[in-house]
Structure 1
Amino acid sequence: MAPMSQEDIEWFKSTFHPIPKPQLPEDCIEYSVYHFAVDPAPTAVDEAAETRSRLVEVQRTAAQLSKELLKDYIWQREGFRLEITKEDGITSLRGRTIFGDSIEDEWVIVYILRELTKRHKDIWVKVVDGDGEFLLIEAAGTLPEWLEPEVADNRVWIHQGDLVIIKPKQGGKGSKRKVTEKLSLKDAKAILTEQSTRLLRSTMIQEEAFYRLRNYPQQISENLHSALVTLPRKIAFLLHQKPAYISAAVEAFYLRDPIALRPLRAKDVSNLAFKPEDFVTVSVRFTRVGYAQLKSQEFPVPQPWVGKLPPSEDRKVYDRAEIGMKLSCGFEMLLGDPQNRDKALVREMKLLLEDLESGDETLPTDDEIEQTWDKSEDDEKWLDINFEDLDRELKGKRDGYEGTSTRGFGDANAQENLQRIVARFEEFLNDNSAGLEGADFIDDFDSDSDVDEDDDDYEDDDVGSEGEDKEASFDEEEFSRMMKEMMGMPSMPGLAGASQSSAMGRRVEELDDDSEEDDSEQIQELSRQMEAELRGTGVLNLNRPAQNLLGNEPNSKGQTGEENRPEEDEDIDINLAKNLLESLHSQAGLAGPAGNMLSMMNLPLPKDDRHS
């Protein structure tokens, strides 16, 4: 085979488009841990062995941290995990976690990763989610102007507990050019280990990026909610064996579909895995999101559970039983839906149920539950959203407010987050320097964020008059001409009214400038002049023929619009009414555009008796 010529190579380069990297789901976080030694080993073999050895140590530390901080933690979907991988010749620890609706799970992972960088000084951590560099999104109001999403890949790192950003190539102060330099993983590694002057550490950016971690690790336990629930003893047994089963059952209930609900529609309860009988009241630990999902949904009592709930007079007892009914249905759907049969949790639960049937396992007794099982129950005030409390929080009037409610909106974290959001929104609205790209919260970021005007990695952001794109320039005269044609006004220079319009425009400016004198009479005079001009062009003549909208020029027969007009003007509302009635007739009594429009105007639908 003959070697490719240079022309063939250039053609291949121009036509080759690499497969784009798949985007992460919006409820997924991906994290990577790298060991970048400042003084690498003498040989590549020794460096690779050292890197792998250090990453194994980090993996052990991560397991220890998870054991210390997440002993009783329940993940909404998937948990934190690190596995050794290799990408672009660089060995690393990598993990991916789907956190579902629980955003707090994402921040628990960020906290663990940050703690790892504090315990291992030579590792660098990178985290992204479905939105990209979400740490930058958190700190959007404090970022330098050059840091745009297009160039953010591989620039944001966590090192020794700090947020580190790779700056563009050092340049002169005062430049207003846009950064175009994109970094690969190998580029980033070289900069992190060899060019410390390009590393930006900003306390202000870091505080904003890690703001959600301000109450960690104490907040980890607050992400969970314990509640007393009345449910079948089999389910209590499963949850006692492994509390993490709760998330899968809640999700099965929350995302139920007609196929999953099929077993709960049958009157015969003999085929149910969890029959509505042999109830016990136990403390169940949920994620806060999962508990809210379970409690907030309206769910009619399925046929097998009819008559099994206690009377609603005792609200607390009824609520515990209702939550237990929903949770039991979630477990039933989880185990009964064919699409779940290959899930590891489902296989584990089925094995435990088989052990109960075979006698290898026994259900807990009432005495055992009463004496040894947890009976904790958390306050549910974080679920309550009172409109008056929310309104006071938004207005910042909670203190000293005399109203019907004295407690705050939600818990302390919710109040603090809400006040922060409102403050940021007010700051955005009050920013008078905002341009087409949005609000700019930072005008100057010292010389560290400036760029070199002669650097190839930047391009002009502001184009001067000499470099203006003539094809994209705005021609005011052409725009004015087109608008006048659309309105039926004379558009060509020299036609009647052109000079008068410019004169009136200048008069308007004079009136705007002179605000001290009484100008009501002048305004009225100006209005009369404008009306006279518009009448002269025919714009205000609603009954003029369509073919004569642009003036009174003769038509093909030498007739003007006035000569061509019928003796009696046709009322245009007749055509409107006729079309409306035709539309109503075509609806045949069903919903349609004409009927909907008349209903919105509170007009009764006319009776169609043309064929009666």
Structure 2
Amino acid sequence: MTAAADSSSIFSLNNSRPPDDTVFYSIYPDSCLSSSAAEDLQSLHLQILNHAQPLTAPYIWQHQPFSLSISPAPLPHLSGRLRFGDNLEDEWFVVHILFEISKNFPNLSIRVWDSDGEFLLIECAFHLPKWLNPETSINRVFLRSGRLRILPPSTFRETPNLEDALRLLAREDANDSATNAPDAVQLHLNNKIGEYPERAYRNVHKVRVIVPVSVAWLLRHEPCLISLSVEGFYDRDIDSMKCAARMERLLPRGKQEEMVEVVVRMSRAMYAQLVQQKFQAPACYPMPERSNVAKYLEAELGMKIACGFEMMYQIRKKEGAEGKGSTWEAFKESLERSGYFEGLLPGSKEYKRLMEKAEEYYRNSSLHSRASEVLSAPVKRIDEILALPHSADDFKSLDLPPSDDDSWLYGGEDELNAALQERQKEMDLFNSKQKKKHKSKEQEEQGSASGKAVDEYDLGGIAKSMQSFIEKMSSYKGAELPEDRNLKDVDFDVDQFMKDMESVMGHRGSDKNDSDIDLEEGSSSDLDFDDYEDGSEHADDIDQDGDDEFIHSYSDALNKELKATTLDKTFVHAGEESTKKKYEGTSNVDDEMEEFTPVDVDFNLVKNFLDSYSSQEGLSGPASNLLGLMGLKLPDDVSKGK
């Protein structure tokens, strides 16, 4: 794993998407934040490998074993990746191993992810805090002291960088830490990984097979090679099948080759990949008569394994796809590149001390990485094993255990349905809690509104809530609504708000360009004319610009045009009643006084809401939905129908 891949967002998968069948992990000791981390990392590496070895020894991995390597950047740490392919058990077994490591090494912070990102959070999706999503989880999710740790927004308002997150975890107390994942999340995760390692060991399937003695000899020395054989058989193509037709390496004598019966250990996924594939035995391959069904099935499975070995061996040898493995020279060069010797002169006392320590570390770590080296250089290892003297006598008189029951291969539907039902129960429980929470809030709102008549209800709250709603944040996902739906009163200047809106829409000029009036768009609101009354600042500006006569002419023409319509009747104007009373009994009422009277925005808003709500007749509609989102509920219209 490169430093760039480790430090980048695990959700930025556009150009460098990780493989879909690979899990990645990084282990950061608290000492990685100090200058002496590189030297301490070697000792920690060996301790972790020694601790993990008893867990991994009985297991057969699908493609590659669990491994760790030292990564010097961006911070000195241990890292690894494991391709699990079609066997998801490998991925969750890795998670179990990492949890066990964190329990026994409390000064470590561990990250684990795959192409889906933080798949541990995906597993606990119904129990996560509302604020947590892929965008907000970057550098916030770790394993530490046997628990899942999630750094909440109270620790970092913005996305933390890796170093700051690690420093915070190093300071936190594991017992009373605010970064501990919620109990529901931790419980669900514990139930998942608590099945391991027993579940992983159950995933290993033992089966009797009849194979050429050369294949039996390979599997006796390197059982891990079975993964390459199955992979070669399962991913075969025309070129590789030509190699299997000749069987030059593993069946040199053709049908005269000695055949032996052995027990092979493989994962259940490997067994399924072999059994479910139909494959005709090569003409040179010795197969028993079909009359003995049991022996024929053992020989057929062994034939597929042998052909897989031949195809893998010949293709890798032909293409030169042979890994170099971890040689001492390559390891030494990596130490020099990482600054391990700190510019010391070769031959100096300190240089020799560090070199001896590196040699000891290499010898010890090679014991744990042998399986990885074998899988990275299988051609060389196969040649070495087959060069050793061997014969069929080495496999005679062996007390072989029977094959494991493979009914799981045909009864997987029941297990799948059980898993789906378990997930469905989890979803139903989540939905029921949400409904219960929503229902309790509705009951509280109804209780607070009960007993109130329409005329006693604070209708001013609608206008205030709408003003507050307008000021809320919004994004492409929609308007942001408060979680508790209880909006507080806000300081909202309606006049200033309308003036700002007019400025934005181009009805009026900005402070920097007051005289630049858009005459093409004009104005259709009484509020616009109200600002141009005699004595206003804008009237003075217009007089100064010499446009007073034009503006009045334009306004008169516009008013005359609108006067013939019913548009003015659709709004209630401020002080409308008092104006009528003032001119009551007067023959010549100044019509322009009413025309220039500003619209009462709040009153019109509430009036329209009430009309819309009343027309719903108790059913769901836009008015009740919008009011509900703002935390308001109007009482029923008891006068309806009377």
TM range (shorter): 0.5 to 0.7
Q: Which residue of 2 aligns with 1:86?
A: 72
Q: Deviations over 1:195-232 (max 9, x none)?
A: 66651332210122343322222223212111000111
1:191–1:198 contact (8 Å) kept in structure 2: no
The equivalences for 1:178-327 within 5 A come to 181-194=158-171, 198-265=178-245, 273=251, 275-276=254-255, 277-305=257-285, 308-327=286-305
Q: Which residue of 2 aligns with 1:462?
A: 479
1:180–1:459 contact (8 Å) kept in structure 2: no
- 1:429–1:109: structure 2 CA closer, same or farther, 3 Å change rule? same
The equivalences for 1:4-403 within 5 A come to 22-36=16-30, 47-49=34-36, 51-52=37-38, 54-88=40-74, 90-169=75-154, 181-194=158-171, 198-265=178-245, 273=251, 275-276=254-255, 277-305=257-285, 308-337=286-315, 338-339=318-319, 341-343=321-323, 345=375, 347-350=377-380, 352-353=382-383, 356=386, 361-366=388-393, 368-372=394-398, 374-385=400-411, 390=413
What secondary structure sits across from 2:120 in the alignment?
helix
2:212–2:306 contact (8 Å) kept in structure 1: yes
- 1:205–1:334: structure 2 CA closer, same or farther, 3 Å change rule? same
What secondary structure sits across from 1:163 in the alignment?
strand
What secondary structure sits across from 1:115 in the alignment?
helix
Amino acid at match of 2:192: R
Aligned equivalents of 1:299, 1:333: Cα separation in 2: 14
- 1:20–1:57: structure 2 CA closer, same or farther, 3 Å change rule? farther
Q: Which residue of 1 aligns with 2:6?
A: none
Superposed CA RMSD in Å reads: 4.1
Q: 1:134 Cα deviation (Å)?
A: 0.8
2:22–2:114 contact (8 Å) kept in structure 1: yes
Q: Deviations over 1:99-125 (max 9, x none)?
A: 221111112221111111111111111
Aligned equivalents of 2:618, 2:158: Cα separation in 1: 52
1:99–1:105 contact (8 Å) kept in structure 2: yes
Amino acid at match of 2:63: R
1:335–1:341 contact (8 Å) kept in structure 2: no
Q: 1:169 Cα deviation (Å)?
A: 2.1
- 1:315–1:134: structure 2 CA closer, same or farther, 3 Å change rule? same
Task: Tell me the TM-score normalized by structure 1.
Answer: 0.57
Q: Which residue of 1 aligns with 2:534?
A: none
Aligned equivalents of 1:318, 1:348: Cα separation in 2: 29
Q: Which residue of 2 aligns with 1:4?
A: none
Q: 1:190 Cα deviation (Å)?
A: 3.2
Q: Which residue of 1 aligns with 2:449?
A: none
Q: 1:272 Cα deviation (Å)?
A: 6.4
Q: 1:301 Cα deviation (Å)?
A: 3.2
- Indicate the structure whose relative CO is greater, using CA pairs within 8 Å and at least 6 residues apart: 1
Aligned equivalents of 1:157, 1:355: Cα separation in 2: 43
2:211–2:299 contact (8 Å) kept in structure 1: yes
Any gaps of 5 or more consecutive residues in structure 2? 1-11, 324-373, 442-467, 482-486, 505-614, 621-642
Q: 1:323 Cα deviation (Å)?
A: 0.6
1:224–1:287 contact (8 Å) kept in structure 2: yes
The equivalences for 1:479-558 within 5 A come to none
Aligned equivalents of 1:510, 1:427: Cα separation in 2: 34
What secondary structure sits across from 1:48 in the alignment?
coil
Aligned equivalents of 2:378, 2:133: Cα separation in 1: 47
Q: 1:60 Cα deviation (Å)?
A: 2.0
Aligned equivalents of 1:331, 1:416: Cα separation in 2: 37
Amino acid at match of 1:48: S
Q: Deviations over 1:448-487 (max 9, x none)?
A: xxxxx9xxxx9887347999x9x9xxxxxxxxxxxxxxxx
**Larger helix fraction of residues:** 2
What secondary structure sits across from 1:150 in the alignment?
coil
Q: 1:22 Cα deviation (Å)?
A: 2.6
The number of residues matched between the two structures is 395
Q: 1:346 Cα deviation (Å)?
A: 7.7
- 1:224–1:339: structure 2 CA closer, same or farther, 3 Å change rule? farther
Aligned equivalents of 1:287, 1:70: Cα separation in 2: 13
Any gaps of 5 or more consecutive residues in structure 1? 1-17, 171-178, 391-408, 444-452, 472-507, 514-612
Aligned equivalents of 2:139, 2:25: Cα separation in 1: 12
Q: Deviations over 1:110-143 (max 9, x none)?
A: 1111111111111111111111111101111100
1:58–1:120 contact (8 Å) kept in structure 2: no
- 1:287–1:152: structure 2 CA closer, same or farther, 3 Å change rule? same
- 1:375–1:356: structure 2 CA closer, same or farther, 3 Å change rule? same
Aligned equivalents of 2:77, 2:432: Cα separation in 1: 45
- 1:350–1:61: structure 2 CA closer, same or farther, 3 Å change rule? closer
Which of 423, 431, 446 is matched with 1:421 structurally? Answer: 423
1:169–1:198 contact (8 Å) kept in structure 2: no
Aligned equivalents of 2:236, 2:275: Cα separation in 1: 15
1:117–1:158 contact (8 Å) kept in structure 2: yes
What secondary structure sits across from 2:306 in the alignment?
helix
What secondary structure sits across from 2:159 in the alignment?
coil
Amino acid at match of 2:70: I
Aligned equivalents of 2:153, 2:619: Cα separation in 1: 48
What secondary structure sits across from 1:126 in the alignment?
strand
Aligned equivalents of 2:140, 2:409: Cα separation in 1: 39
2:207–2:402 contact (8 Å) kept in structure 1: yes
Amino acid at match of 1:193: A
Q: Which residue of 2 aligns with 1:546?
A: none
Aligned equivalents of 1:19, 1:221: Cα separation in 2: 33
What secondary structure sits across from 2:223 in the alignment?
coil
Task: Tell me the TM-score normalized by structure 2.
Answer: 0.54
1:77–1:98 contact (8 Å) kept in structure 2: yes
- 1:98–1:230: structure 2 CA closer, same or farther, 3 Å change rule? same
Amino acid at match of 2:19: P
What secondary structure sits across from 1:303 in the alignment?
coil
Q: 1:242 Cα deviation (Å)?
A: 0.4
